[in-house]
Amino acid sequence: MPAKVIISCAVTGAIHTPSMSPHLPVTPDEIAADAIAAADAGATILHLHARDPQDGRPTQDPDTFRLFLPRIKQATNAVVNLTTGGSPHMPVDERMRPAHELAPEVASLNMGSMNFGLFPMLGRYSEFQHDWEREHLEKSRDLVFKNTYADIERIVTACGANGTRFEFECYDTSHLYNLAHFLDRGLVKPPLLVQTVFGILGGIGAHPEDVMHMKRTADRLLGDAYVWSVLGAGAAQMRVASQAASMGGNVRVGLEDSLWIGPKRLAESNADQVTKVRAILEGLSLEVATPDEAREMLALKGGDQVGF
């Protein structure tokens, strides 16, 4: 019997801006409601960012996270995964504050510095509600998303001390080698949740051969020390998820990664995407893991051990 599949849902994030979709959750009420609906639809893990409720700008203020995290915890059994990526424009000490202070079961961790090109989206959107949105995209022409070895070690050490484990986000082959380096040094422990990311300009593409290459490389470097999951950006979301699921992988969807549910059709909620990917998994005769099954697969500390 095949292993059950973990569905992660990235509810909101730093890539898209409020002007790109009226369905992108911005306020704490919207983030809580969308996250709870995604869990009800079958999401196993909820990956969460926060936004300034006034203008939708990404924020890593732990007090903003505190406005929605207790509600999500009370209403669902889903595993909560907090970002340490925040926004590529933020320094690492700012980015890690929510995970450090709130001690979630899981925190995301970017495994290498990279160009992070969001500026092509300027050609798709001509009007923005807030001045920061255009600037956010334009500045990515000259942006290195800084994740040095010192940055990674700082997050692993500080957040790991709270019993938090990590979703290791690998945007390219070198990031897998970086993760293997930290594994060899004993700074990270199996089972490693490896989220291979496809389709962000500056990282690896979303071609089927790219997906296979990342899986082969992870197998060679990490052996049986990892649990594989995939994230396809934009239009690649469901294609990459389908391919990986057929290869034994886990999947991530959500409005952080893609605003769409089909060609020229905006997803009206995160739950829309969870429902669609769940149908794909069930069509492949695969079962979705419950949050408690995921906790066992990933050796998590439990939802009663968090700081919110």
Instruction: Grade residue 302 by pLDDT with cuts at 50, 70 and 90.
Output: very high
Overall average pLDDT of the 222-227 stretch: 98
Overall average pLDDT of the 72-81 stretch: 98
Supply the pLDDT for residue 300: 98
HSE (side-chain half, CA atoms, 13 Å) at 90: 17
Q: Closest Cα to residue 214, out of 195, 233, 236, 238? A: 195
Helix (H, G, I), strand (E, B) or coil at 234: helix
Q: What is the pTM of this model?
A: 0.97
Q: Which residues have CB under 8 Å from 217's CB, separation 6+?
A: 173, 176
Q: How many CB atoms lie within 10 A of CB 54?
A: 9
Percent of the chain with pLDDT over 90: 99
Supply the pLDDT for residue 2: 59
pLDDT at position 3 over 90: no
Overall average pLDDT of the 94-121 stretch: 97
Overall average pLDDT of the 255-259 stretch: 98
Mean per-residue pLDDT of the chain: 97
pLDDT at position 79 over 50: yes
Supply the pLDDT for residue 1: 46
Supply the pLDDT for residue 110: 98
Helix (H, G, I), strand (E, B) or coil at 263: coil
Supply the pLDDT for residue 126: 83
Reduced to 3 DSSP states, what percent helix, strand and coil does the chain have, rounded to the nearest 5?
45, 20, 40
The single-letter code of the amino acid at 159 is C
Overall average pLDDT of the 85-89 stretch: 94
Helix (H, G, I), strand (E, B) or coil at 224: coil
| 167-215 pLDDT per residue, tens | 999 999 999 999 999 999 999 999 999 999 999 999 999 999 999 999 9
Cα–Cα distance between 206 and 211 in angstroms, integer? Answer: 7
Cβ contact 242:7 at 8 Å = no
| 109-136 pLDDT per residue, tens | 999 999 999 999 999 998 999 999 999 9
Q: How many residues does the chain have?
A: 308
* CATH number of this structure's domain 7-305, picked from the four choices 3.40.50.300, 3.40.50.2000, 3.40.50.1100, 3.20.20.70: 3.20.20.70
Q: Which residues have CB under 8 Å from 266's CB, separation 6+?
A: 21, 22, 23, 259, 260
Supply the pLDDT for residue 294: 98
Strand partners, 239: none
Q: Which residues have CB under 8 Å from 274's CB, separation 6+?
A: 7, 9, 38, 41, 42, 43, 253, 254
Q: Closest Cα to residue 201, out of 178, 171, 169? A: 171
Burial class (CB in 10 A: 0-12, 13-18, 19+), 78: buried
pLDDT at position 274 over 90: yes
Overall average pLDDT of the 147-151 stretch: 98
HSE (side-chain half, CA atoms, 13 Å) at 273: 40
HSE (side-chain half, CA atoms, 13 Å) at 180: 13
Supply the pLDDT for residue 259: 98
pLDDT at position 15 over 90: yes
